[in-house]
């Protein structure tokens, strides 16, 4: 695996954290009732959908860190009932995922991760597990985006992947996250 591919995973982790930040910042304009309101989706509310993202992140990030939390991660399906609880919890989880990706080497990317599935141990290549996690987040953020469109709060644009010419448009959000363009694209 080349060092360039390692950088790609780092960029995906930053894009993931940025998209979560954008979506949760937009959701801050909702009342608690709107956050909990039943809506069309696999997890039938913004609260449940966004908490599902967090819970599955907890499951996989723990495994990527070498932990053994396993299915206990989803014992509480809504560990963060309010957005004021969820936003910092998701940001902390995103920082953990960023740290994992920042520490990647070609050898680590090719390595395996042991995942506690309670009745068995799943082994998965780290690169494949990371792509699975990123895809999971994208999928459910898309559902949350559609749910948010049913409210008075305009959903943020989430289909961006750091186009170079659009760096000025995200500069303020990057500053909120403590990043620069160089943070994302460092070698």
| Domains assigned to the chain | 3-163 (1.20.120.450)
pLDDT band at 69 (very low <50, low <70, confident <90, very high): very high
The average pLDDT across 172-185 equals 95
Distance CA 13, CA 130 (A): 9
Contact between 69 and 116 (Cβ < 8 Å): yes
pLDDT score at 2: 60
Contact between 155 and 149 (Cβ < 8 Å): yes
Contact between 155 and 137 (Cβ < 8 Å): no
CA dihedral sign, ordered 57, 88, 49, 44:
positive
Distance CA 85, CA 81 (A): 7
pLDDT band at 149 (very low <50, low <70, confident <90, very high): very high
pLDDT band at 62 (very low <50, low <70, confident <90, very high): very high
Mutual orientation of helices 3-27 and 83-102 as an angle, nearest 10°?
170
pLDDT above 90 as % of the chain: 95
pLDDT score at 4: 87
Distance CA 146, CA 151 (A): 9
Distance CA 78, CA 66 (A): 24
pLDDT score at 186: 83
Query: What does the pLDDT look like over 106-130, one tens digit per residue?
Result: 999 999 999 999 999 999 999 999 9
pLDDT score at 3: 65
- Among residues 152, 140, 28, the alpha carbon closest in space to that of 82 is found at 28
pLDDT band at 160 (very low <50, low <70, confident <90, very high): confident
pLDDT score at 38: 98
pLDDT score at 116: 97
- Among residues 178, 160, 8, the alpha carbon closest in space to that of 169 is found at 160
Question: What DSSP string runs through 83-144?
Answer: HHHHHHHHHHHHHHHHHHHHT--HHHHHSEEEEE-SSSEEEEEHHHHHHHHHHHHHHHHHHH
Query: What does the pLDDT look like over 12-51, one tens digit per residue?
Result: 999 999 999 999 999 999 999 999 999 999 999 999 999 9
């Amino acid at each position: 695996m080349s060092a360039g591919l390692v950088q790609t995973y780092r960029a995906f982790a930053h894009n993931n954290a940025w998209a979560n930040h954008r979506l949760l910042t937009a959701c801050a304009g909702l009342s608690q009732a709107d956050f909990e309101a039943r809506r069309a989706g696999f997890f039938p509310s913004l609260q449940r959908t966004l908490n599902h993202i967090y819970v599955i992140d907890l499951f996989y990030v723990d495994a990527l860190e070498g932990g053994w939390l396993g299915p206990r991660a989803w014992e509480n399906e809504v560990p963060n009932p309010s957005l004021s609880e969820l936003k910092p919890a998701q940001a902390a989880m995103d920082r953990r995922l960023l740290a994992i990706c920042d520490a990647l080497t070609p050898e680590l990317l090719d390595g395996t991760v042991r995942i506690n599935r309670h009745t068995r141990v799943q082994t998965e290549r780290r690169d494949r597990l990371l792509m699975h996690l990123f895809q999971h987040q994208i999928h459910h953020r898309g559902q949350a985006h559609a749910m948010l469109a049913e409210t008075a709060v305009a959903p943020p644009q989430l289909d961006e992947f750091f186009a170079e010419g659009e760096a000025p448009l995200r500069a303020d959000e990057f500053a909120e996250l403590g990043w620069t363009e160089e943070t994302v694209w460092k070698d």
